Chain A
Amino acid sequence: MQTCVSNLQFARNGRKCPLIMASKARTLYEKIWDAHVVEQRDDGTCLIYIDRHLVHEVTSPQAFESLRSAGRKVRRPDLTLAVPDHNLPTTARRDETGNRIPILDPQSAQQLEALERNAPDFGIRYIGDADLEQGIVHVVGPEQGFSLPGATIVCGDSHTAAHGGLGALAFGIGTSEVEHVLATQTLLLKQSKTMEVRVEGTLGAGVTPKDVVLHVIGLIGTAGGTGHVIEFCGNVFEEMSVEGRITVCNMAIEGGARAGLVAPDDKTFEYVKGRPMAPKGADWDKALSWWKTLPTDTGATFDKSVHIDAADIQPTVTWGTSPEDTVAIGGVVPDPSSFADPSKQKAAQASLDYMGLTPGTKMADIPVENVFIGSCTNSRIEDLRAAAEVLRGRHKADNVKWAIVVPGSGLVKKQAEAEGLDKVFTDAGLEWREPGCSACLGMNPDKVPAGERCASTSNRNFVGRQGPGSRTHLVSPAMAAAAAVTGHLTDVREL
């Protein structure tokens, strides 16, 4: 593990050392880390400066309350952005006369009201529930140019890793850390180990960024990246769109890594340029020249490396209750006895019992009653386009009782409507909703009924994640659309 050498020198000899420095070969992660060290303690722990803090309603109320009772202020409200997403119903939020439609669950309403009150109380910009810019924090950040390459970005949500798709160091934090960042704009951290996940070659037809990341998690396991920050390297990620990279990094946490990154390149810069909060004029030029220095140096080493041949990746689905329980769509439900580790055998059996599956069943024979297209993993415009392409001119199967499409933000919704995608979805019998976290987690009215299955583009197939007793199969947007059409998990390439 590398330490922040330059800042050690800074601390020792008291001389100023530049934040942007040229030294020995470093990884992308190490360069961003070094540029954000406020100071280093003797034990190696560093006080790290945080450039961007996204706040939502679920993990912030206790932090604001503690600040209030201690008489503390938010140090940098200008680097903080608050957006409600988890609790919001995805049905209409205003009636015809523009009045707010009350939220039925009093606890959800209370949590949303707390954010709406806390943001202005502490001078933080707040994007409201009915604003065009509202959406899932991890969609809004990149979309607004709030999230930038090379920045340190945090949010009280583990899927903050998503912003790493821009080449930012982004990770989820707990509520005490939310409070710490609000009060000090810093976090006390030990540098993580580095892990390279290199995917090279040509992806087959129908293989999307979601399939790539599910495949990676299946391979490394949910603890594979614990203690590490993953950099996704290789031509597959170089050729991937920025939105695809965000999807991949979003699920780094499902592989145990607190953060995932893809090196920023011209595609990233093109994506960021001109967004409302992105740097402009001379600042843009200065940013660009720094961002170009960020990719991992030739000769830099990783603590751990995984190499994957792109040709090995198939459209991938999950069969169990952990994101590592993946299998190619052409495969079958595994036999628990096929796992070497006895505790994994036990876990697999428990998963199959919960999922109501028997070993040997073809994945493509598993019927689904619900389809969810959305979440911070897969609710951007490219995701919706991919789903619409499959659904165009088709209709959902009769056994699919509930199928919803939830755009990641009001702006994604507007764009999709301009392209007529909403019409494609509704013509196919799917519901077109308002932006929010929706059925990714059971915090708002969108839930999968107990005992029923859902082909879901979200990120977690945990027990009860989509509602008590819900059974989740994680898939890509195209595969979710294909399942809606046939009423069972389906290889989109065969449609």
Chain B
Amino acid sequence: MEPIRDIAGRAIPFGAKNVDTDVIIPAHWLKTITRDGLGKGAFETIRKDPDNIFDSERYAGAPILIAGDNFGCGSSREHAAWALLDMGVKAVIAPSFSDIFSGNAFKNGILTVVLPQEQVDRLLEVATEHDIAIDLESQTVTTPFQDRFTFEIDPFRKHCLIEGLDEIGLTMARDEAIAAYEGRANSELSFLSGRNAA
């Protein structure tokens, strides 16, 4: 995974609330067996409108997306994160995210930044004309003006993003602890141990 420290540039002032993952990437794009090339299908329904924000010259190659409440709700499809990544989005700013989407984004090195609605509104306004910068180290979002918004992020996630760490590798290194749990579970919760399953 690519390490992330700071992300700066144009930000797509999308702003819509309750954007579900069917909107981010419709189901017929899920038939792929790779992670690549999904940017073409990102926000497909919205992009049928020739004046849509995603194809606007103004935001070409924007690394940041600004959205409304509950971004990424609905289906667990990680294709939503892959589609955003493929269209060049490295960070999404919103007042809230669905739990599954924020996990999927993190695992693909996309930073999700939660800010209060008023601050998101301010960024939506600034982004139409100006660049926005996110600094993960100091957990701040800044504009060319006086705006300086700080955000919270889980310390472990921050560490993984900054170092570009592979979570599976980290967990596999805990093999001893997992095996110890399995040993205890095999006696105490033997009925869940899989003897009858599969």
Residues of A participating in the B interface, judged by any CB pair closer than 8 Å: 16, 18-20, 35, 38-39, 41, 43, 45, 47, 49, 51-52, 58-59, 61-62, 65, 70, 72, 75-81, 86-87, 105, 107-108, 110-111, 114, 124-125, 145-146, 148, 150-151, 156-158, 172-177, 179-180, 183-186, 188, 190, 192, 222-223, 226-227, 253-254, 256, 258, 277-280, 283-284, 286-287, 290, 322, 343-344, 347, 441-443, 460, 462-465, 468
Contacts and interface: CB of A to CB of B under 8 A. Distances in A.
- 6 closest Cβ contacts across the A-B interface? A176-B107, A174-B78, A107-B31, A287-B191, A174-B104, A61-B33
A151 B191 CA distance: 10
B140 interface: no
Given A108-B31, A222-B73, A226-B98, A151 B192 contact: yes
Contacts of B174: 38-39, 47, 184, 186
Interface stretch (B2-10, B18-26, B131-139): B18-26
Contact of A186 (B156, B178, B189): B178
A183 B166 CA distance: 13
Contact of B100 (A61, A172, A287): A172
Interface residues of B, number: 59
B29 to A, nearest CB: 10
Contacts of A283: 190-191, 195-196
Describe A's contact surface by its main secondary structure.
loop
A79 B198 contact: yes
Given A174-B77, A280-B196, A223 B69 contact: yes
B27 A465 contact: yes
A49 to B, nearest CB: 5
Nearest to A257: B99
B140 to A, nearest CB: 21
Interface stretch (B52-60, B143-151, B180-188): B180-188
B177, B178, B192 pick with most chain A CB within 10 angstroms: B192
Nearest to B190: A283
B70 interface: yes
A279 B191 contact: yes
24 contacts: A19-B184, A20-B189, A38-B178, A38-B180, A39-B181, A45-B154, A47-B177, A49-B178, A51-B194, A52-B197, A61-B33, A86-B30, A107-B31, A156-B78, A174-B103, A176-B104, A183-B168, A183-B172, A226-B70, A253-B74, A256-B98, A287-B191, A460-B20, A462-B23
